Amino acid sequence: MNTLDLELLRSLVAIQEQDSFAAAAVHLGKTQSAVTQQMQRLEDQIGHPLFSKQGRHKRLTPHGLKLLDYARHLLSINDEAMRSLQQGNLEGVLRIGAPHDVAETMLPPLLAQVARASPLLQLDIHVGRSPFLMESLKRGEIDMTISNRNDSALEGVVLRTSPTVWLCSASYVFDRSKPVPLVLADGPSLFRRLAQEALDGAGILWSPNYTSSSLIGIKAALRAGLGVTARGVELVGADLRVLGENDGLPRLPDVAYHLFIRRNVINPLTRQVFDMLKANLGLIRSAAPPEVLA
């Protein structure tokens, strides 16, 4: 069986990301004709055309798109292996934070990447509310954190964008003729703000039916049928259902989850792990559970 040439795969990914053969050639430091010849060799190896002409542009065929996914995985594994061998095994303690609502979805693939690249690294995991994790990061109490908040004072990269939905108990009967009984986090909360702004913007009355300082309390109130909340789709489960525009509720904006570190971080361990995770974003995203609106 033939072996795929990583250099050819790297050029394929560059063409897709740069949106043209010419731009990919500049990015790779090659001539356009050299990149074209590489793709011809790759097509000969695969036995299928990878590009089709659409107007003045070339677009990936179904076989090309399929190979692109494999290319990104293979390159990520190759680059991770090279970094690990060149840098040696990192040792020490890395303190990573994550909000409660994504600690079971976004955090595990991220931890798996760190553990695989640096098995000697000790991970200290902090799970809490996003605004408080951000403050802990700024104070130097943790080294990096996942957060649904944004802060230009920190350095970050988007891990994924997640839909925000209205949630209630699976058996809850929603009465659109009454003010929406909200289940809210007390104190600073992005989802609290999104819920209130969406309802106010749509001219829908609401009442703060229940507040809690933790996600566990919010879930308990929802399961008890005390009201409705706005939350990331990660919270959807068999005991909760999604309300939407058919129920008279406004659409909610998506939320971006970032991985943050402090700018100009001094600890080289933190910088190396952060750069490795940035390079492996494709693997982290593909390992996350599918987003299902039940």
pLDDT in tens, 88-103: 566 788 999 999 988 9
Joined together, the tokens standing for residue 32 give: 């356009």
Domain map of the chain by residue range? 6-87, 92-157+256-287, 164-253
For domain 92-157+256-287, the CATH class is alpha beta
Do 6-87 and 164-253 have matching folds?
no
Q: What is the pTM of this model?
A: 0.65
DSSP assignment of 43-86: HHHHTS--EEEETTEEEE-HHHHHHHHHHHHHHHHHHHHHHHHH
What sign does the CA torsion over 141, 144, 145, 148 have?
positive
Tell me the percentage of the chain whose pLDDT exceeds 90. 50
- The predicted pLDDT at position 19 comes to 86
Distance, CA of 205 to CA of 194 (rounded, Å): 15
**Residue 222 token pair:** 């929802």
CA 171 to CA 167: how far, in whole Å?
A: 11
DSSP state of 144: E
Which residue, 148, 129, 105, is CA-closest to 234? Answer: 105
Q: What is the CATH number of domain 6-87?
A: 1.10.10.10
- Of the candidates 58, 75, 100, 254, the one whose C-alpha atom is nearest the C-alpha of residue 165 is 254
Q: What is the pLDDT of residues 28-81, one digit of tens each?
A: 888 999 999 999 999 998 899 999 988 778 889 999 999 999 998 888 777 766
Positive or negative torsion for Cα 69, 74, 75, 76:
positive
**Which tokens go with 65?**
């798109």
Contact (Cβ atoms closer than 8 angstroms) between residue 96 and residue 126: yes
**What six digits make up the tokens of 144?**
């990096």
The tokens of 249 are what? 């509720």
Give me the chain's average pLDDT, please: 87
pLDDT at 292: 38
CATH number for the domain running over 164-253: 3.40.190.10
